[in-house]
Amino acid sequence: MRKKLLIFNTLSSLIFQITTIICGFILPRLILQTFGSTTNGLVNSITQFLQIISFMELGVGAVVQSALYKPLVDKDNKLISKITVSARRFFKQLARILLAYIVLLTIFYPFVIKANYSWSYTAVLIISMSISSFAQYYFGIVDRLLLTADQHGFIQYNSQTITLILNTVACAVLINMGSSIQMVKLTTSVIYLFRPIYLHFYVNNHYSLDRKITYVGEPIKQKWNGVAQHISAVVLDGTDAIVLTLFSSLSNVSIYSVYFLVANGVTQLFISMTNGMQSLCGELWARRDAKKLIQIFGKFEWLIHTGTIFVFGCAGVLIVPFVKVYTNGINDANYIQPLFALVFIAANAGHCLRLPYNIMILAGGHYKQTQKSYIVAAIMNIVLSVLFVSKFGLIGVALGTLIAMVYQTVWMAVYNSKHFIKWPLAKFYKQIFVDFFTIIAGSISTITFVLTSVTYMGWILLAIEVTFIWGLVILIVNTLFYRDKVFDVLNSIRNRF
**What are the residue boundaries of the structural domains of the chain, listed by start?**
1-224, 226-497
The predicted pLDDT at position 65 comes to: 81
The predicted pLDDT at position 283 comes to: 64
The predicted pLDDT at position 162 comes to: 92
Please check the confidence at residue 276 and state whether its pLDDT lies above 70. Answer: no
The predicted pLDDT at position 36 comes to: 87
The Cα–Cα gap between 242 and 252 comes to 11
Which of 132-146, 283-297, 365-379, 433-447 reaches the highest mean pLDDT? 433-447
Please check the confidence at residue 244 and state whether its pLDDT lies above 70. Answer: yes
The Cα–Cα gap between 488 and 481 comes to 14
pLDDT tier for residue 57 given thresholds of 50, 70 and 90: low
Average pLDDT, the chain: 83
Please check the confidence at residue 237 and state whether its pLDDT lies above 70. Answer: no
Please check the confidence at residue 442 and state whether its pLDDT lies above 90. Answer: yes
CA-wise closest residue to 301 among 157, 472, 426: 426
The Cα–Cα gap between 187 and 173 comes to 11
Q: Distance between alpha carbon 97 and the CA centroid of its chain, in Å? A: 24
Task: Please tell me what DSSP assigns to residue 274.
Answer: T
Helix (H) and strand (E) counts in the chain = 21, 0
Average pLDDT over residues 85-105: 84
The Cα–Cα gap between 472 and 169 comes to 39
The Cα–Cα gap between 462 and 458 comes to 6
Cα-based torsion angle of the residue sequence 113, 119, 121, 122 in order, rounded to the nearest 10 degrees? 40
pLDDT tier for residue 119 given thresholds of 50, 70 and 90: confident
Q: Is the model more confident about 442 or about 412?
A: 442
The predicted pLDDT at position 208 comes to: 84
- Count of CB atoms situated within 10 Å of the CB of 338: 10
Please check the confidence at residue 3 and state whether its pLDDT lies above 70. Answer: no
Contact 258, 307 (CB under 8 A): no
Average pLDDT over residues 220-242: 68
Task: Please tell me what DSSP assigns to residue 417.
Answer: I
Please check the confidence at residue 38 and state whether its pLDDT lies above 70. Answer: yes
